[in-house]
Amino acid sequence: MPELPEVETVRRGLALRLEGRRVTRLRLNRADLRLPMPPDLRQCVEGRRVLRLGRRAKYILLHLDDGGVVIAHLGMSGRLVLSAPGNGATAPADPHDHVIFTLEDGTELRFNDARRFGLLDYARAEEIEHHKFFAHLGPEPLGNAFNGPALAARLDGKATPIKAALLDQRVVAGLGNIYVSESLYYAGLSPKRLAGTVTGMRAERLAQAIREVLERAIAAGGSSLRDYVQASGELGYFQHQWAVYGKEGERCPDCACRYGIKRIVQAGRSTFYCGKRQR
């Protein structure tokens, strides 16, 4: 599933082409994806201008000029693909183009999702904070409110491993398996350490590592896994900068440990770490 940097990369790419433009037509080629789409979605969107594109955790938010917000989640294989004016046919180019937004200049934005694990919803802007998708979410890791003390407060009393705690969207919004492994590496914390013990300077190091890893990944265009592509169609390149993820048995890039990067399974997910560097 695309993680925060991939979603943010898509958001930025789409913003360049969508913001300020009016949606003249919305074509729904099915009534549902992972969840049913609002039955009045077409009426809510057609004729409205896209003011800005936002993001909350792994959701992309299309803010419309009347206060409406289209909520999109890519799921496992969803893609938001732009088709320039003149390049798209009237019929979907792909059988998995389930939703097509046509803009006033003829540009098409297509929600393509082979597995249909993504979703599309609609809400009013004033309802977003309390929407069922967002009410439980923790702070944004790139937001001003996210720091060591805030993270320590979220982890206080938790007896689960720190790796599992960070994947809990109620603790920090938008983190996934790849970037949690990378962040723990740079913070020097073992993924097996109990979350409640991450306090003080440990929490400060971890919060800073999370921010820096995400910022580097966004700058590099996100990580390319399976069907992920940027809005421009280009692939991300952050996977070439991974320190530990997917590198079982390789040497730690920061120390001379002879055992190499280890892989363990936590809650059904692969975790990669250096047993010497991370405590």
Give the residue numbers annotated as catalytic, written as ranges. Answer: 2-3, 58, 269
Listed in sequence order, the residues at least 6 apart from 260 whose beta carbon sits closer than 8 Å to its beta carbon are 248, 249, 250, 251, 252
Tokens of 257: 């440990």
Report which of 180, 154, 131 is spatially closest to residue 3, judged by C-alpha positions: 180
d(CA 229, CA 240): 16
Report the run of H or E that residue 27 belongs to, with start and end.
strand 23-28
Q: How many helices (H) and strands (E) does the chain have?
A: 6, 10
154-172 burial string, b = 16+ CB within 10 Å, else e?
bbeebebbbbbbbbbbebb
Spatial contact of 6 and 83, defined as CB atoms under 8 Å apart: no
Listed in sequence order, the residues at least 6 apart from 89 whose beta carbon sits closer than 8 Å to its beta carbon are none
Q: What angle do CA 19, 138, 190 make, to 5 degrees?
A: 120
d(CA 105, CA 16): 14
DSSP string, 118-170: -EEEEEEGGGGGGSTTTTT----TTSTT-SHHHHHHHHTT--SBHHHHHH-TT
Q: Which phi-psi region, left, alpha or beta, contains residue 170 (left: φ > 0; alpha: ψ -120 to 50)?
A: alpha
Tokens of 134: 């967002």
